[in-house]
Structure 1
Amino acid sequence: MWEDIMKFAQTALGGILLLAIPAMSMAQEVTLRLSHWVPAGIAPASKGIEPWAKDVEAASNGRIAIQIFPAQQLGKAPDHYDMAKQGIVDLAWVNPGYTAGRFPIYALTEVPFMADDSIKGAKAIHEWYLQYGAEQEMGDVKVCFIHPHAPGTLHSKEKITSPEGIKGKNVRPAHATMARFVSLLGGGPVQVPAPEVREALSRGTAEAVTFPWGSMYDFKLTDEVKEHLDMPFYLSAQVMIMNKASYEKLSAENKAVIDEHCSPEWSSKVAQGWYDDDMAARDKLIADPEQTLNVPTDDEVAAWRKAAEPLLDEWRKAVEAKGGDATAILDGYVKSLEANDARY
């Protein structure tokens, strides 16, 4: 009798163990630390970064976990590239424009009046950069996806519809190229990270800001700036990068998941949520009687384009100084935008 009970128990235990083996094979194998510098609840994070991270986890059947550290918890916004490069974090969301001169090829994406669609533009930029600049400028990390907002614009305390309106104004620029543009137009660039813009405006340190539409609400700026230039002014395309050693440590199975999520197609997917939020914010501003959207005339648009031409000349010089073929790189960028129907 006792022997029969023991045999039954052993058989049952064996079955339990066999059933447990598949579950154990799905167990978490690695936790990746992802750092970014915007509040967790706003669109770039909640509708871009976080859904991407969750999809990586789901696609790996739980083998990969991604721990997200928002709002500069692990480091200042301009430090994020080096944080990933040095392995302080595994993944980092980087604004290359926060480090002037470091990524001269990528800086072409910052030149205004080039792209008018962030979803198609994300794919176009990713495809172009992989061919023309990623290895040269970001070869010490793995480029995962390009994450622009919908084309941003100029938001100001006073109405501005032409380049002349910048003269004498202090403007918080989105990135280094926009800072140079402000200077060319006779304004004073006030360079502070996005989370510090409201304070700069409220103190009068800045009188205008180049920002995506959604940032008016994300950073609570509608009481500070009520005039909005209604045109696709510029892009600021952030990049999700991964520490190379962190990637190399992954199993072949987990590398395949990361590779699938580091593609031009995923750049477009990630950009979609932020675009939707920006367009909703623009509609909300239109409906708000205290806010004014100013549409520039055709002559004013032409004047803006003309005023930006020196930025391309400066970009060419910066790229050529590093040994790059500026003509080929620019031609490749324009063709990629056109092929993806994202050229302004």
Structure 2
Amino acid sequence: MNFAAPWFLLGTAFAALIGLLLILGGFGVARAIKRFGDEDRVKALTTADPAKRRAWKGVLLVLATALAFVAAARPQYGKGTRLVPATNVDVVVVLDYSKSMYARDVEPSRIFRAKIEVARLIKDLEGARFGAVAFAGEPMGFPLTADGAAIAQFFRQLDPNDMPIGGTAIARALDQANDLLKRDPKSAEHKRIILLVTDGEDLEGYPLSVAQAIGAQGTTIHVVQIGGRTPEPIPEIGPDGRIVGWRTDRQGKPLTTELSLSGEQQLASIAQATPGGQIIRAEKGTTGIETIAAELRRQMKSELSERVETVYADVYFYPLGLAILLLIAEVFLKDAPRRRF
């Protein structure tokens, strides 16, 4: 037996209070008769003693009140079981293709390792659908599909040198990812996740506002932060993928990439603005994507997996019907038997 609204069971204490008041009232009537005069003489003046009938009426009223509160608590019993199908998962991977992703603090480079680990994530999450957004100054997307190999190929064929506009437009990239999810009619019924992999800070848009709007729709954003506050030089990569030098500014000084304190706070706020969002900061020599991949695999095997649950049937009408019958009986039970003339 189960109760859908168990707090209503506290109302049975109100029924007990009614019973206590009726008992005290009965004692009060007995004392009043004694004060009025001799008890035997008073009884001789009455046609019937209503004490027993009033006691029964009180019992019926108390039971009816208690049963009414039991009915309000919505008693249920296990009628059977049903199979709850696994929750489908839609993941949009948003990968940073700014030129700072050529940095070599992750071997052989940040972007090369990120693409390998994204491909591994796609392969490991069987049954999930994937979309893709590659971004620098402007995003470009690939719609949701069950063909994970196509998503891996989309990322694999791109390099930071292929991006038409430089920069780190995180806000526009998140908008693009959200559009991919909203344009797919099936996605509304699925668990929606955006995986942002970046080493930079958005200095142009307002990614936190975008993340808050996405979180309000129930979509989770996990952020993988590659790189930290330690400056890393940025290599110049030729068309053949080999290093041809090191990037410099107009004064000829080496360009380095590092994430400021405000940048780290921005990325953490993006994840925290969505339900269940996590920020993973890559350790030296790793990207951190494998940490998120392990968490998503765990969710798909436990929280989002197929399960059996008990189906409960409401039976509140039984105590409610009995309470109504008891109230009807209380109404028709008179204080004294009908007199015959």
TM range (shorter): under 0.3
TM-score by length of 2: 0.25
Structure (1 or 2) with the greater helix fraction: 1
Structure (1 or 2) with the greater strand fraction: 2
